[in-house]
Structure formats: C-alpha cells, structure tokens
A and B are shown apart, each in its own frame.
Chain A
Amino acid sequence: MSRPISEDDLHAFVDGALADDRRKEVEAYLERNPEIAERYARFGAQRDALREALAPIAAEPVPLNLNLGHMVASRRRSSRSGWQVAAVACLFLLVGGGSGWMLRGMESDHPIGINALAQEASYAYAVFGPDGGRPVEIAAADSDALVRWVEKRLLRPISLPDLSGAGYRFMGGRVVATQNGPAGLLMYDDAKGARIAIMMQPMMRHDQNAPMAEHREGDVVGYAWADNGMGYSLVGGLDTADFLHPIANEARRQIQAKT
C-alpha cells in the first residue's frame, strides 16, 4: 500500500480527477470505511444535482449582445470613430481655435446612432446638470404633462424609469433640441443634490437596437443603448462613473418591462 488516503484524494475521487491507480486505492479504502464512503457518495450526488440544476443556463441560446462576432465588429466601428475624433482634436489643436473652418469638410464624419445620442446627452447634461435655477422645465409633480409633451414631440410612447432604488429621485424633465431633432431629457437627483439624466430619442436609421456602451465626453460619463428603435443615454458627472452602469441596467430593465 502506498501513501495514506487523504481528504484531498477523496474529493478528487468525487470530481473524477484521480489517476487510475490512485482511484483504485481510494475505492479499496472506501470499501473498508462505509461511513466515509456514504458521506462522499452524498457529495457526488450533490455534485450531480448541482450540475443538472445549472445545465439549462448553458443550454440557452446566447443573446445577440453576447455574440462575439457582433461585438468585435461594433468595436471596430467605434474604435475607428474614436481615432477620427482624436485626429480631429489634434488637428484642431495644431491649427488653433480661429481656424475651425478647416473642419467643415469633416462634417460627414459626425457620429451616428447611439454615438450621436451619447454626445447630445453629454452636452445637455453639461448645460442642465449644474443649472441651479431651472434644471427641468416640467417638475415631477406634473409628470403626466411632461410625458404628454415628450410623447407629442418624439411621436413615440415613453416611460419614466424609477431610479429611487438606486437613491435617485425623479426631478422632472424637458424636451431638448439635438442635431437629430427633439429628444426627451429626464433629470434625477440624489439626497445630496447630485444629478444624473436620461436622454431618449427615436433612432432613425442606425442602431435600432444596440447593446449598452460606455461613453465619456469631457467631465460627463454615460451609458447609451437602444431598444426597438428608441435610443437612451444615462449620463452623470465623473464621480458617478463607478456606479452608473448598474443604474443604466436598471433603467433599461424598467423601460423594457413597460414596452
């Protein structure tokens, strides 16, 4: 008889991780020790039950936003536009503020789809986020009027996500102007008055559906996505960067549940 049987050997036996020789030694040991054999047989049964219980998750079809080919392709698109933005920024620095006209020819490269929405949301947040006097046009108390106004301009039904679970109270909102027409802007604040905002706008041609993507523009961070032809971007200050993503997921979940 070789080395004594250890507890590690018994677990490896349960996991089928022993070499043949050692497995035979463990089997012989278990025959001599029925109480231990019974305990480890139970561990084996637990292992099987756990595997069976969780197997259906792995058998589900992989959703589109986790499709690797799709992710690689959309990454290429966004990295190219990122490079273009960087190039334009360098050019701008070199040429100087007075020579901005040189960039006119690059207008055709302006962002599209949720990238455009992300940019507009960042601009709107930069303007209305710190506004002390009138951050919203219609306050939360008149939510019905706000919804009617936004729906009338977007020609689409909307819903107001409740972010109180994440500590953000709904303040109200407004319709804002963007390059691609009107958009709805909903504002929320936390107990300390720090604000986050959601912009929503119908997607015309691009990104009818788009997985959630992070964006940054100056001091504004955000997460943008699109579902069923409607684009959304949740934006906040740099200090919200660490926890904005789960809030965006929650907003998306609520909107999906209502539409």
Chain B
Amino acid sequence: MMAHVEPLIPSLRRYARSLLRDQSAADDLVQDCLERVISRWHQRRIDGDARTWVFTILHNLAMNRLKQKARRGVHVTVDDADQAAFATAPAQEDRLHHRAVVDALSQLPEDQRSVLLLVSVEELSYVETASVLDIPIGTVMSRLSRARHRLAQVLEEGPGRLAKTGTVLRRVK
C-alpha cells in the first residue's frame, strides 16, 4: 500500500489545492482521502489502477467540500487566497505569467477545470480521467475542448479584467 500511495501524495496535494485554492483546506482534504485509502485499501478492485482509485476518492471529497462551501457560503479567507496558495517560480516575468494562467483556470467552470487538471497536469489518460470523474470518455473530450478554448479566451481578454473579477468570494470578518 505504502509503495503505491506514498508517491502520489505530492500530486494529490497539487490537485486538491488547484481545485480548492486554499492550502490548509486542500491538505485536510488529502488527509481525509488518505485515511479512506488506508481503511478501504483491501476493498479496491485488484485489477484497477491504484492511482485512478485514489484520485477518484480525492475528487469526490473535493466535490462534496465545494458543494458544502457553496451551500454554507463559507469561502476562503483573504490570508489563504491565491497568493499564499500558489507557490510560484522566482523570476518576475514567470510569476506574472503563472499567475495569469492560474487566475484564468479559476474562471473555468468546475467540471472543465477538473478535466484540464487531471489530463494536463496530473497526466491521467483520457480513460483514467473518465473513470475518476465517472463520466463517458466523449464527455471528457468535450469538456477538455471547452476548457482549452475558454482558457485561451480568458487569457486573451487580459489580466487587468481578471484581477477584479475573481470568482473567489472573500469573507470580511
């Protein structure tokens, strides 16, 4: 179990943080995920791929959490928002560029964002992505296409507009 799951943890943290945009909430989610993995390891399908199985658990937990947040109206606090959540490369030019892409990503609908992250960043195959999200491969492909077109559109419209229209609500204490 350790040998299969331990190498996945950095990717799980990255996926959770990219979806939630909140470091401590994302790590708590990964912790919940790992606890389920430990307790259900013997229940997984032996012929299935461990990575796909673990990502499925994490994705479902993330969706529950996002739904809960939407229902309760609790959103990330200012301190935890993007600046702190996304470590960036040192070069100034790169940082701006990375920031723009990450901001643009946050403008995508959640279902497109998941597909784009799993395929492009976590390098799951289309079949694996379909399995994690429990959708047909055709739906993976259409969401991927919409995600890429939308991301290009948002990036072309420029960062100036983006900075003011982040979808992350901020709590005022």
Contacts and interface: CB of A to CB of B under 8 A. Distances in A.
Q: Is the interface of A mostly helix, strand, loop or mixed?
A: helix
Nearest to B30: A66
Nearest to B71: A243
Interface size on B, as a range, is 35 or more
A54 B173 contact: no
B125 interface: yes
B131 interface: no
Contact of A53 (B2, B86, B171): B86
Contact of B6 (A15, A68, A253): A68
A43 B150 CA distance: 10
A71 B151 CA distance: 38
Given A46-B101, A49-B101, A66 B9 contact: yes
Contacts of B31: 65-66, 71, 211-212
Contacts of A46: 101, 148, 151-152, 155
Contacts of A4: none
A50 B105 CA distance: 9
Interface of A: 7-8, 11-12, 14-15, 17, 39, 42-43, 46-47, 49-54, 56-60, 62-63, 65-66, 68-69, 71-72, 75, 162, 164-167, 211-212, 242-243, 245-246, 249, 253, 257
Contacts of B34: 66, 68, 71
Contact of B88 (A50, A56, A62, A242): A56
A34 B38 CA distance: 51
A57 B13 contact: yes
Contact of A243 (B72, B89, B141): B72
A50 B27 contact: no
B126 A17 contact: yes
